[in-house]
Structures are given as C-alpha cells and as structure tokens.
Amino acid sequence: MTVPCCICTVLLQYVFNSLSCVVKHVYVLGLVCDLCCSQRWRRAGRAKINDTFSCLFMVAPNPVTLSWMRNWPPTREGGCGGLVMRTPVEPHITECISRNQETFRCWWSPGSFHNLSSPGALRVFYLKKVLPTSEWIECPEYIYSNRECFFDVNHTSIWVPYCLQLRSQNHTYFNEDDCFTVENIVRPDPPVSSNWTLLEISPSGLSYDVMVNWEPPPSADVEMGWMRIEYEIQYRERNTTNWEALEIQPHTQQTIYGLHIGEEYEVHIRCRMQAFTKFGEFSDSIFIQVTEIPSKESTFPLTLVLLFGIVGILIIIMLIVVSQQHRLTLILLPPVPAPKIKGIDPELLKKGKLDELNFILSGGGMGGLPTYSQDYYEGEPWVEFIEIVAEDADTGEKDNQGSDTQRLLSQGISHHMNISFPDDDSGRASCYNPDLPDQDTLMLMATLLPGQPEDREASFNVVERAPAPERGERPLVQTQTGGPQTWVNTDFYAQVSNVMPSGGVVLSPGQQLRVQESTLATEEKTQKKEKKHKWSEDTEDNKQKELQFQLLVVDPEGSGYTTESNAWRISPPPSSPMPGEGYQPIHPQPVETKPAATAEDNQSPYILPDSPQSQFFAPVADYTVVQEVDSQHSLLLNPPPCQSPPPCLPEHPLKAIPAMPVGYITPELLGNLSP
C-alpha cells in the first residue's frame, strides 16, 4: 500500500546486512521528512516496534534513495534498506512504574507526532475507577523534562484501577491497555549496601564460599510489611556474559557456594514484590575475589618437607643397597661352591690353560700350591687326595705331546706329585675312606683333563662304572685318541688282599659289594653303550676305552686275576680285548703276567645274583695297612679294622665304599719294596 511521503517518518532505522537485509541494529532517529515512502519500496517484513505494528520496507534500487540511505547515520554494514513506519505512532503512555506502592510515575511519548512534543501540547488524564461514575482528572504533577507524570501519595490508590489517556487540543489518545492497578506495576528499587564476607575455603584450597549481605531498598517500607520483597542474586565471572541466578528468596543475605580461588566475580541483586512478577532494577555490582591466602602456605612447606624426607630416605636406602651389594647378595644369595683347587685360579681350570695349571701344580712360581697336608685341607671335604703312581720318565716322554692328559699325568708323575695321604682316621667315619678315589675324585680328575667331550664322557662313564663292579679297583685313566696305546697306566687305588710269598701283592675287591653292584654295572653298561653309540665318532676309541676299563678281580683264594674275563663281560664282545694292554697291577715284582695267565681260568669273581657259581667268599678287606716290610721283602699287613661289610656299605650302591685299611702304600714304601 502506498504511504504518503510526508506522513511517513523514519522513527527507527534498521541497519541491514548488505546481503540478506536482516535487521541488525536499531537506531532511534529523529524525524526525517524527506524520505519517500512510495511504492517503490518493497515490503521486507513486519516488525513490532513499541507495541505498534510497522512495516519494514526495502529500498528499491533507486539511486536517489539509496544514496540518501547511505548518507544517513552511518550504517554498520552498508544497509540495503531502511525502515518506514506504515502507520504513524500516536502519542502514548510509555510506562508507569511504582517504586514503593505508595506513589507512581507515568511517562508518555508523543509518538510520531513531533509537533506535540512541546510541553503542554499533550495533557495526561487519568481515571480512577473507584466509583461507578468517575471522571478523568488531569495529571497532578507534570515533569515535562522527562515527559513524566507523577502521582504522589494523595493521588495514589492501591487496588484501584487507573486508566490514563493523553489529550491534545483536538484529539484524545486512549488505549484500554493502559489501565492498571498500582500493586501490579510495582518495581522495587534495588537493594543497597551489599557486601560480602568469606565463609570458608575448601580443603583443597581451590574454591570458597561467600556470604552476601545487603539492605532492602530504603524506599520500600519493609519493616512495616507494606511491601514484602524477595531478592534474586546473580553472579558471573568478570569477563563472561552469562549470569548465574540463584533462587529467589525473601532474606537479605545469601550464600554463594563454589567460587574459584583467584577469579574475580561480579554480583548484583534485584528484587520484586512477593507474589508479583515485575522485577526492579539491578543493584550496583560488587566484586568478589579471593586470592591464595597465606595460611595455605604454612601447610605447603610441611608437605614439601615430608616429600623431600621420603625421597631422601629412599635415596639412602638405594645407596646402601648399591654399596653393600656384594654383602647383600652373599646374604640373600649364598654362592654355590664351585669346584676349585685351593691355590689355583679357577680361570686356569678352563680350557686351554693347561700350561699354567701344570706350572702351578708343579709347585713353581708364585702361585705354587702350598704343602698339601691334611691339616691344611681339614675343613674341606671335597679335597681328595690323589695318589699318582711314579712312572718312568721314558714313558712319560714318549707320551703324545698332543694329549693333555698324558702330559699332565706324565709331568705329574715325573714331578712326583706330592699328595700326602692322610695317615690317621681321625674325624672320619671308620668305614669311610676318602682316600679312595671315589666318584668325586675321579670326576675331578676327569675335569682336569680337558679333552674331547666324548672322551670326557667316556671317562665319566668309566668313573661311574668304577665303583660298581669292584670296590678295590679303579679304572684306568684313559687317554686321548692315539694310535698306540700310550695311555698312562695309573691305577690310583689298589686293594691289597694278600701278599704273595714272592713279594707280590695280591689285590682283591670286596666281594659282597660286587654281588650287589654287578647287576647295576650291567645295566649301566647297556646305558653307556647307547650313549657311546650316540656321541662317539671314534667308536674304536670308545671300545678301546671300554676294554681299557679293566676290572681287576682277584680271587682271594688264589684264583688270580680275571681281568680279561671281566673285561669281556663289561665291554662289548666284538672287539677283542687286549689283555696285554690291560691292567698292570701295581706291584714291585715282575709278577705280572701271572695274574693275567690265570685270568681266563679263573672263574669270574663277578658273581651274578642268579649265578650258581656265586661264591660268597669270606669278607675280605679291600685295604690292608702295610705295617712294615720284613727282610724278606714281604709285607706285613694289619688286619682290617672293619670286619663286617654291610655296615660299611653306604647307601648309594655306586658309591659303595668297602672297609678299608686306614693307610695305604706310599711311594716311599713302594720304593722300599723294590729290590
């Protein structure tokens, strides 16, 4: 619809977005008369401004109007349109407010009728609908500067409807909507003198509670109860936009919980009448801020001290542990005793260092072994005394230099390893003779002789089998591979059971032990055979070693030696034994072959459990002490201390140690024996 230009007034300017012509800002303008409201304006929308419906129009692409619009109070975004009020705004009452329910004020506006803006052009009349017939009365008090009409106490009636109208000279502007009752227009003044006190700080020291106090507005008669006011607190952090509102309540104090330390808060309060809806204005803001308080610091060092104390203690403990590591490891993890020879660096016992070992063993150098006395080794049960038979130096020299064993043993013999024998039986069980090279000693010897693993195992085999078949005899120490039988014939122990008239010594084992151990020996033999077949490359050597494992079985009754038969029983049949290379008994006289000769004829002292030929000989001591050698070169032996074999038998069958004499032949004695 067309609107006449002259009547149109731009009351408000809408700043449009250049793209979409959306209302962005509203400016209240003065009257502008030269804006045309012709139909060139396209209608953009309908807006309600001050309760009066108005139409929004967009500017048509008219250079004149556009330019004018651009020149008007600066648009923020280069608006594309303006506003035109479709209908003029009448003079109207803007608002009526009562502060204390005893007086009230009303403001009016001339609207678009600017000619009526001058004081006195418009007059305010009010009507109190007290009586059925009532009349309009003019405003009791004008305040033209504010366009305000003030109704004092005398003219204010509560619970009475008021209606206001504006009158110009020839026109009356009245709106039914402008009627009200005073209690419904009450907006109390904001509360005054608000302050805050700190209630408490949380244990974590991060938040605190605050109590806010204020006074009711002085204009409101609260003491008498004419106005009952309830309050609403709102707070927010300093630079945020959203206010937090707490619950409305009628008391003049309220607690705010959960404020954060170090942040500044803004608080304001407003009030309204109870059971009514209109709030008054907000009070002036008060600012709350609580920073870290010093009392917190007093607890802080305490925690710091505790922390450092604990850390320091931990460090000290660590230092102690590290410094006393060895001792602690000793206490907590006692070392496992390793095989060693006293006086010899264990490093030397490793592979390849035989020269040094020999050197030391021979007693040379700084690391010479100390005298091997019994007292020296009293506390060490693992020490076993080894007797090495004195061998001819020639044989020693003939030894294959490539064989460590030969070298060791030859040197040992040539150097007359002086290992003393224990002479007395003190401190030991009577039945236990550690002098005998039992399994441990033989193991030791085997370890001392580095060689091929097969050999070692073979020797081990031999060692294991040694105690089994015979008590008195010991296996020959085997040598390495070698063509000729260059093995050193060293028999460490021999039991002297009888002395021949010719001077030879008859050696015999304990018989009962043989009985029990023969079966075990056979079993072991089969096992060892299997093992040997596994890892043996030089089967010949193995067999030889088996053959070399000679058991000297002596029949105390003069049956003589049965080495060969025994060897056959023990070793695999295919290879022929070499009796000649068999055991060479230790005796000074050249009564050597005799035992060998009688070997075949003799029945095997290997008495199998089910053999009818088992002969239970009288228990014969394996060892006899040679007390002296008489002039005829015969050995005088003592009766063995132990008569009954069973108590002498240790539990372990392999380690059966028979009754033995206390002493045995020393090399010196041996020397004496020789002619």
Structure tokens at 304: 């710091």
Specify the residue, 152 or 292, whose C-beta has the smaller distance to other proteins. Answer: 152
Specify the residue, 223 or 394, whose C-beta has the smaller distance to other proteins. Answer: 223
* From 64, 275, 338, 366, residue interacting with other proteins (rule: CB under 8 A): 275
**Cα gap 617→640, rounded to integer Å:** 16
* From 34, 135, 223, 610, residue interacting with other proteins (rule: CB under 8 A): 223
Rounded to the nearest whole angstrom, what is the least distance from the CB of residue 161 to other proteins in the complex? 4
Rounded to the nearest whole angstrom, what is the least distance from the CB of residue 243 to other proteins in the complex? 24
Specify the residue, 154 or 169, whose C-beta has the smaller distance to other proteins. Answer: 154
* From 16, 180, 460, 606, residue interacting with other proteins (rule: CB under 8 A): 180
* From 32, 66, 160, 578, residue interacting with other proteins (rule: CB under 8 A): 160
Q: What are phi and psi of 472, to 5 degrees?
A: -85, -20
* From 157, 362, 575, 614, residue interacting with other proteins (rule: CB under 8 A): 157
Asked if 360 and 344 touch (Cβ cutoff 8 Å), the reply is: yes
Rounded to the nearest whole angstrom, what is the least distance from the CB of residue 104 to other proteins in the complex? 12
| Number of other residues whose CB lies within 10 A of the CB of residue 597 | 13
* From 274, 325, 329, 430, residue interacting with other proteins (rule: CB under 8 A): 274
Asked if 386 and 435 touch (Cβ cutoff 8 Å), the reply is: no
Specify the residue, 153 or 336, whose C-beta has the smaller distance to other proteins. Answer: 153
For the chain, first and last CA: distance in Å?
A: 162
Q: Which residue, 467, 363, 451, 460, is CA-closest to 407?
A: 451
**Cα gap 21→14, rounded to integer Å:** 9
Number of residues engaging other proteins in binding (CB under 8 A): 31
Specify the residue, 219 or 285, whose C-beta has the smaller distance to other proteins. Answer: 219
Q: What are phi and psi of 412, to 5 degrees?
A: -60, -40
Specify the residue, 30 or 132, whose C-beta has the smaller distance to other proteins. Answer: 132
Task: Please report, as residue ranges, which positions from 44 to 103 form the binding site for other proteins (by CB under 8 A).
Answer: 101-102
* From 53, 226, 243, 308, residue interacting with other proteins (rule: CB under 8 A): 226
Rounded to the nearest whole angstrom, what is the least distance from the CB of residue 220 to other proteins in the complex? 12
**Cα gap 135→125, rounded to integer Å:** 9
Helix, strand or coil, per DSSP, at residue 454: helix
**Cα gap 479→542, rounded to integer Å:** 11
Binding mask 450-489 for other proteins (x = CB under 8 A): ----------------------------------------
Structure tokens at 17: 């977005």
Structure tokens at 377: 């080794």
Structure tokens at 314: 């931990």
**Cα gap 407→415, rounded to integer Å:** 11
Specify the residue, 159 or 616, whose C-beta has the smaller distance to other proteins. Answer: 159
Rounded to the nearest whole angstrom, what is the least distance from the CB of residue 230 to other proteins in the complex? 11
Specify the residue, 271 or 505, whose C-beta has the smaller distance to other proteins. Answer: 271
Asked if 571 and 434 touch (Cβ cutoff 8 Å), the reply is: no
* From 47, 179, 344, 578, residue interacting with other proteins (rule: CB under 8 A): 179
Which segment (64-72, 171-179, 590-598, 640-648) binds other proteins by CB under 8 A? 171-179
616 binds other proteins (CB under 8 A): no
* From 59, 163, 462, 494, residue interacting with other proteins (rule: CB under 8 A): 163
Binding mask 228-257 for other proteins (x = CB under 8 A): x-----------------------------
Rounded to the nearest whole angstrom, what is the least distance from the CB of residue 235 to other proteins in the complex? 27
| Number of other residues whose CB lies within 10 A of the CB of residue 638 | 14
Please name the residues in contact with 392: beta carbons below 8 A apart, sequence gap of 6 or more: none
133 binds other proteins (CB under 8 A): no
Residues forming beta bridges with residue 25, ordered by sequence position: 15
The secondary structure of 153-180, three-state, reads HHHCCCCCEEEEEEECCCCEEECHHHCE
Specify the residue, 226 or 257, whose C-beta has the smaller distance to other proteins. Answer: 226
| Residue tagged 């009985």 (tokens) | 515
**Cα gap 267→196, rounded to integer Å:** 10
Rounded to the nearest whole angstrom, what is the least distance from the CB of residue 218 to other proteins in the complex? 12
153 binds other proteins (CB under 8 A): yes
- Specify burial of residue 549 (Cβ count, 10 A radius: 0-12, 13-18, 19+): buried
Residues that bind other proteins (CB under 8 A): 101-102, 129-130, 132, 153, 156-161, 163, 176-181, 183, 221-226, 228, 274-277
